[in-house]
Amino acid sequence: MVIPTLDDVNFTNSKVLVRIDINSPVDSKSGKLLDDSRIRAHVETVKELVEKGNGVVLVSHQGRPGDSDFIDLEEHSRLLQKHLDMEVEFVGDVMGPYAREKIKNMKLGSVILLDNVRFVSEELIEASPLQHAKSYLVRRLSPLFQGYVNDAFAASHRSQASLVGFPLVLKSSAGRVMEREVSALAKVFNPEDSPKIFIMGGGKVLDSLRIIENLVKRRLADRILTGGLIAELFAVAKGLDLGKENLQVLEKAGVLGLISRARKLLLSGAPVEIPVDFKVEKGGQVHEEPANKVTGIIKDVGSTTVNIYSSFVRDAKVIVMRGPMGVIEDERFRESSRALLKNALENQGYVIIGGGHMISLLGGEGQIDKSKVHVSTGGGALLLFLAGEKLPALEALDMSAKEAMKA
């Protein structure tokens, strides 16, 4: 696969559309961003393009329709402006007349952030690069640009218009974040680096299940330690009675239909570990309860589980951590994820940390040794990449490079 970088495609004095991923955790009460790591990550790419005299138009998504983190990008633009130390104009539109006028009139050397690209319904369709190259979004925006840069590794597992449509119609390259992710993550395919432990938590149950299925099929993981909602799914699949309220949580998340797939994995002997205890909330109080005697609402894994998981982490050569063990937005349920993270960082193995929520916990862990820790901006994209899945956004860049070579 050929992934052209900014060294191969040297954009200068052009208008460049840059797909970034600044999708960040949001406080559901205040609507404020809880972490700006993904915003900071893209500073290098944007600065480089600006220094080369380009007009930079940034496009990103935030959340999914129906979720409380599905918000506009105004606060993101303020944070980006702070970290870039230059003006970033927030344009509350994606491809309407207002956005296109702003892009047409922008000065080279300046930066615009368009609004949440998922406000455009077409963006939510998963289709091939060829189909998306003909999408309304691509047809409306591409004539305004001389180039396209994809720096959104964290969204590269989505075959959506802003990620795969533009490389087929514009001269394209990966940004610096995308480039660094792909080269760092390739290291973990080294068969000598075993055992490999995957710590999977968070709320995206279907994504996590698909990944676990892949990891098992390709025998990539020696152990998969579960937390978050995926742990609850596996616990139910194993036959544990988690009580009506926790089943309602899974039902609300629309994942009860996945129990049979989880059970199939367990029956096949997949190396999936399920928590032996949970931290639950009951009547406003926090309790620890064994997994077979849960009476409260599960909010985190329990301390015995943390001890067991830590023993696996200690022996691992590669540790991949994605998604928190609990509802870390509430500090009462942050401890397990933090303890496992600390343990992994103190271990000798190579640690790959992914997903906005886990990365937000890194703040208190002091100086990170970059030779043994890769902090990925990717959540689902990270693990699909590690499971050997094709990432559509990378495929599209590859198609673009091959077309350019033919020309």
Ligand X SMILES: Nc1ncnc2c1ncn2[C@@H]1O[C@H](COP(=O)(O)OP(=O)(O)OP(=O)(O)O)[C@@H](O)[C@H]1O
Ligand Y SMILES: O=C(O)[C@H](O)COP(=O)(O)O
Extract the annotated binding site. 21-23, 38, 61-64, 118, 158, 329, 355-358
326 binds, among ligand Y, ligand X, none (CB under 5 to 8 A by kind): ligand X
- Binding-site residue ranges for ATP: 329, 355-358
Name residues contacting ligand Y, limited to 109-168 (CB under 6 A): 154-155, 158
296 near ligand X, rule: CB under 6 A: no
Give the contact letters, 225-254, x = binds to ligand X (CB under 6 A), - = no: ---xx-------------------------
Q: Closest approach of Cβ 380 to ligand Y, in Å?
A: 5
Mapped to the 3 state alphabet, what secondary structure does the chain carry? CCCCCCCCCCCCCCEEEEECCCCCCECCCCCCECCCHHHHHCHHHHHHHHHCCCEEEEECCCCCCCCCCCCCCHHHHHHHHHHHCCCEEEECCCCCHHHHHHHHHCCCCCEEEECCHHHCHHHHCCCCHHHHHCCHHHHHHHHHCCEEEECCHHHCCCCCHHHHCHHHCCEEEECHHHHHHHHHHHHHHCCCCCCEEEEECCCCHHHHHHHHHHHHHCCCCCEEEECHHHHHHHHHHHCCCCCHHHHHHHHHCCCHHHHHHHHHHHHCCCCEECCCEEEEEECCEEEEEEHHHCCCEEEEECHHHHHHHHHHHHHCCEEEEECCCCCCCCHHHCHHHHHHHHHHHHCCCEEEEECHHHHHHHHHHCCCCCCCEEECCCCHHHHHHHCCCCCHHHHHHHHHHHHHHHC
- Binding-site residue ranges for (2R)-3-phosphoglycerate: 38, 118, 158
Q: Which is nearer to ligand X, 228 or 392 (CB)?
A: 228
Residue nearest to ligand X (CB): 379
Choose, by CB under 6 A, the member of 21, 115, 122, 289 that binds ligand Y: 21
Helix 43-51 crosses helix 176-185 at what angle (to 10 degrees)?
Answer: 130
Q: Closest approach of Cβ 297 to ligand X, in Å?
A: 8
158 binds, among ligand Y, ligand X, none (CB under 5 to 8 A by kind): ligand Y
Give the contact letters, 55-94, x = binds to ligand Y (CB under 6 A), - = no: ---------x------------------------------
335 near ligand X, rule: CB under 6 A: no
Give the contact letters, 344-363, x = binds to ligand Y (CB under 6 A), - = no: ------------x-------
Give the contact letters, 182-221, x = binds to ligand X (CB under 6 A), - = no: -------------------xxxx-----------------
Give the contact letters, 341-380, x = binds to ligand X (CB under 6 A), - = no: --------------xxxx--------------------xx
User: Applying CB under 6 A, which residues contact ligand Y?
Assistant: 21, 23, 64, 154-155, 158, 356, 379-380
User: Applying CB under 6 A, which residues contact ligand X?
Assistant: 201-204, 228-229, 298-299, 322-324, 326-327, 329, 355-358, 379-380
